[in-house]
Structure 1
Amino acid sequence: MEALLARWRALPTLATCRLHHRAPGRGKLLTLSRMFQPQRLREDQVLSLEGRLGELTCKSQRLMLQAGLIHPASPGCYHLLPYTVRALEKLVRVIDQEMQAIGGQKVNMPSLGPAELWRATSRWDLMGRELLRLRDRHGKEYCLGPTHEEAVTALVASQKTLSYKQLPLLLYQVTRKFRDEPRPRFGLLRGREFYMKDMYTFDVSTEAARQTYSLVCGAYSSLFDRLGLPCVQVQADVGSIGGTMSHEFQLPMDVGEDRLSVCPSCSFSANRETLDPLQTHCPACQGPLTETKGVEVGHTFFLGTKYSAIFNAQFASVQGTPSLAEMGCYGLGVTRILAAAIEVLSTEDCIRWPGLLAPYQVCLIPPKRGSKEEAAATQLVGSLQDHIIEAVPGLCGEVVLDDRTHLTIGNRGKDANKLGYPFVVIAGKRALEDPPHFEVWCQNTGEVIFLTREGVVELLSTVQVV
């Protein structure tokens, strides 16, 4: 008991906690000194770290390593650290909104897939060495799923009372996927373990399935529009997944491994692998095609009855007769979208996020310890934080305090710039004015403005949070 009382007496007073806590009942204010984030590394240290495990070959990989957003675990596998997990969770929320807006129902299927399911579709052999395989103690064979067509079709086929009234059925999940990449590279852009959103749809007819296909493609376009990512929907090959129609959602970038042909005159675009190697003119309008590189962040397939016929995934038609469901499948590379967004939006030295995905929206920087502004401005920062949460409840949990006051404002500002908070609010010399003014960096527009407390709150009230 004495030890407990001693610890209690040693706790900071309410006054000294002002910068570290919200008002009573609101929980702790997030502080950088308590954040788990590996020491930020110089570029030569990053090269040494990643050089042991692979290649440092693109901007997003370098920036995410330098900022302590990811940490290598093994070739093609990374620890996702707190900032990245927050951004990932926000991306999943945006994906949930778009998928559920078109009738998607979220499920979660096992990553461990029995070999007999994959043998039924012949993909146990067709997938080749990219399929990560293992045996359990009983000698039974499994794979770590790179995709779930077999599993979901077997699941739906097991429902013997499925009616046409229940279709279309749109089932999706966001899970870890696995692929034995021969040469993992580009950090989260091409790894062996990654997060994917995969959706599988079941319809009563070919016409209905094509309508669902268009609906999901529209949801993908809406998602990328909301994120501010200029993706292009291109014709693609069906590959090992199969079906009769396929499209990729490509984000153009210099490090892209896919070659794209785009027509500036009409809406035609395609992955070069689907075209004649010598084709230089648009098959739709005959205009000249331009070439660019891209990274695939989404892929859609019209499957027809390829899988439903194998697993006998049927429904009862209007006439009461059993009919095979027409299927589609749709993937989004969730961790790849994060890395791709950083790749195209960031500068060479500073991370920039899509506004909706920034791990934290606001970083508050109080004065340096011992400065002449410390006493007055420190209280102002605490008051501002309370006022932000009261006036803009949506920012609760979105404000982080850089309490490392042994560092100068300049050094902490550089860190904030590199991490890409959309808004950085600094209590500097002008915080001593009457009325006090805060220096506000609007990172995504490059503006620096000075605002009163009320002005800061008015600016932040426009921030969209998911």
Structure 2
Amino acid sequence: MQSVGASKVSLSSISSQELWERSGRLKEGSEVFRFKDRKESRFLLAPTHEEEITTLVASLVKSYKDVPIRLYQISRKYRDEPRPRQGLLRGREFIMKDLYTFDYNNEEALKTYELVKDAYVRLFDELKIPYLVAAADSGNMGGNLSHEFHFPSSKGEDTVISCSSCDHVYNEELADGQAHMFETKGASESEQAHDTLGIGNTTSDAISTGLWMAISKDKKTLIRGWYPKFLLQGGAAEPVERHVNSHAVKSIADAAGVDLDLSVENPLEQWTAELKRDPSSASSSDQRFKVLDLYDSQVRVYKRPPLSDLLHEIDVDADIEYALLSRFPGTENSLQLVRVHEGDKCPRCKNGTLKPQSAVELGHTFHLGTRYSDVLQAAVTVDSSLIHEPSKSLQAPSKTHTVPMQMGCHGIGVSRMISAVADMLADTKGLNWPRAMAPYEVVVVPAKGLEADAEMVYDALTTSGGPAVDAILDDRDKQIGWKLGDADLIGYPVIVVVGKGWKKQQTVEVQCRRLDGIREEVSVDKLPQFVRSLLDRL
């Protein structure tokens, strides 16, 4: 954070509910701890601090000459998490690093964004652990540009898609529901239509068709997605089971003007119950019940809508509005309802294959734009000569204009990173920290009676005149076997043992589990150089 010119601040964990209502983020069902004080004033425990930092900067900064501003904090955050799990990976209380940036125009804000993103890359590179940088959905944070930093892990809740050939990496949540590699070959919707549900002329061979359903939040619209449940693809001998990507379906539904509720587990029953509760409203123009059928590009559509079968099945006689979509609304693109499967062709480079991986999100960079500065009046005066595209409301004679600041928010989950790295590198002996995260880089462990000699070894490591080595001497009154087991359990990158070799030939044993379990006898005069060579590889 210092490398990007950021200053450290400390914001209160207690925030005003009213402030969050002004930004529009405090809604029913929000994962926020709320409470009232003895005066019945409404407060919350802050899960993040966009509102607070924007209000603070708005009260202090008035001119474009005062920006850029970059402020960061490392603090405890709180979230009323509905399903806390995996210890530090998902908890109700956690430690976050947040950086908030403020610029006077979009061009400068994007430069700041790239500067911070590069700093994050350097930070994750320093860990020397495989990670992915994925294009991501900004969610309720706002803005239209964001990237996530992930560690591949079977315990991860995100699915990250990466290409074997190009730099195309993205979170599955970005699925837009439009087919890029599974286009039907020139057939129009009417030409694809058949009396019964069948299989389209596509790049893959679907051998079974599945049905997926969801319901709108007002329970008036039932969404049915027809998709290839099993595919024979790429000459494979065995069919591959496919699953619906709910993010893709939601994108299609949003474009069709339907607000989906993906939390409902029995959508057909809910829709039927609502319909039977007040069947008279089914035909009214403002309360009309609807069925929207979506057809994946690898499944042919019905020539005659299969609505009568549904109404017969649920024993309802009503005038239901019916719509069918096999193209994304407003485009000629076919629909892709299924999740990416390993081996699918990359839509960007056409040469590589895609690989989905479960991953743990550890960092996230957001370009927020004016999402918060607009509503919280965080603005600066700018010389008119610096404004590239003045709005129509700006008066030409004026030399300065007031514009909302362009913001960025960049976070790293500190406590989550501890858990994710520990899980990735731990082995049967214990933890196994990267050099950058270890409590100490080196531990010196002496056998009984060699404590004074171990002090000399420790001094040779820490005062040798070369680059500093962060070392600790284990001088506890314990047997050497116990101390070595404890050193493995704690996860020091390098262990220096002052034991049998010292008594025989004045050498120490240097151990490093992460580098193929190195165990090598080294003389004291060569020890600092040898240890540094190991640390440089970690």
Name the TM-score, length of structure 2 as normaliser: 0.62
Matched, 1:312 2:377: yes
Change (3 A) 1:183 1:402: farther
Residue of structure 1 aligned with 2:33, choices 132, 149, 171 = 132
Counterpart position of 1:186: 86
Distance in 2, Cα, partners of 1:269 & 1:457 = 41
Change (3 A) 1:270 1:243: same
Distance in 1, Cα, partners of 2:136 & 2:495 = 42
Residue of structure 1 aligned with 2:527, choices 453, 456, 462 = 456
Matched, 1:283 2:347: yes
Residue of structure 2 aligned with 1:263, choices 163, 185, 193 = 163
How far apart are 1:116 and its partner, in Å? 1.2
- Post-superposition Cα deviations, 1:4-31, rounded to whole Å, max 9, x if no partner, equal xxxxxxxxxxxxxxxxxxxxxxxxxxxx
Distance in 2, Cα, partners of 1:269 & 1:396 = 37
Change (3 A) 1:420 1:392: farther
Residues 355-434 of structure 1: pairs in structure 2 closer than 5 A: 355-368=435-448, 374=449, 377-391=450-464, 398-405=471-478, 407=479, 409-434=480-505
The answer for unaligned runs of 5 or more in structure 2 is: 178-244, 246-337, 385-399
Asked if 1 retains the 8 angstrom alpha-carbon contact of 2:104 and 2:406, the reply is: yes
Change (3 A) 1:229 1:193: same
Residue of structure 1 aligned with 2:25, choices 123, 126, 133 = 123
Q: Percent sequence identity over matched residues? A: 39
Structure 1 letter corresponding to 2:46? G
Could you say what the CA RMSD is over the residues aligned between the two structures, in angstroms? 2.0
Matched, 1:323 2:223: no
Residue of structure 2 aligned with 1:198, choices 89, 98, 108 = 98
Asked if 1 retains the 8 angstrom alpha-carbon contact of 2:451 and 2:475, the reply is: no
How far apart are 1:402 and its partner, in Å? 4.4
Asked if 1 retains the 8 angstrom alpha-carbon contact of 2:379 and 2:405, the reply is: yes
Counterpart position of 1:3: none
Distance in 2, Cα, partners of 1:392 & 1:346 = 33
Give the match's secondary structure for 1:123. coil
Counterpart position of 2:43: 142
Structure 1 letter corresponding to 2:133? Q
Distance in 1, Cα, partners of 2:434 & 2:381 = 45
Counterpart position of 1:156: 57
Matched, 1:109 2:11: yes
Distance in 2, Cα, partners of 1:125 & 1:241 = 14
Number of positions where the alignment pairs a residue of Structure 1 with one of Structure 2: 354
Counterpart position of 2:419: 339
Residue of structure 2 aligned with 1:165, choices 53, 65, 68 = 65
Counterpart position of 1:215: 115
Distance in 2, Cα, partners of 1:142 & 1:382 = 54
Give the match's secondary structure for 1:188. coil
How far apart are 1:295 and its partner, in Å? 0.3
How far apart are 1:400 and its partner, in Å? 2.9
- Post-superposition Cα deviations, 1:105-148, rounded to whole Å, max 9, x if no partner, equal 2211111111111010121116x241011111111111111111
Distance in 2, Cα, partners of 1:397 & 1:216 = 28
Q: Which moved more, 1:273-282 or 1:230-239?
A: 273-282
How far apart are 1:378 and its partner, in Å? 3.3
- Post-superposition Cα deviations, 1:126-179, rounded to whole Å, max 9, x if no partner, equal 6x24101111111111111111110011111112x5322222221111111111
Give the match's secondary structure for 2:137. coil
The answer for unaligned runs of 5 or more in structure 1 is: 1-98, 369-373
Distance in 2, Cα, partners of 1:221 & 1:181 = 29
Asked if 2 retains the 8 angstrom alpha-carbon contact of 1:392 and 1:457, the reply is: no
How far apart are 1:189 and its partner, in Å? 1.1
**Structure with greater Cα Rg:** 2
Answer 1 or 2: which has greater helix percent.
1
Structure 1 letter corresponding to 2:529? E
Counterpart position of 1:442: 512
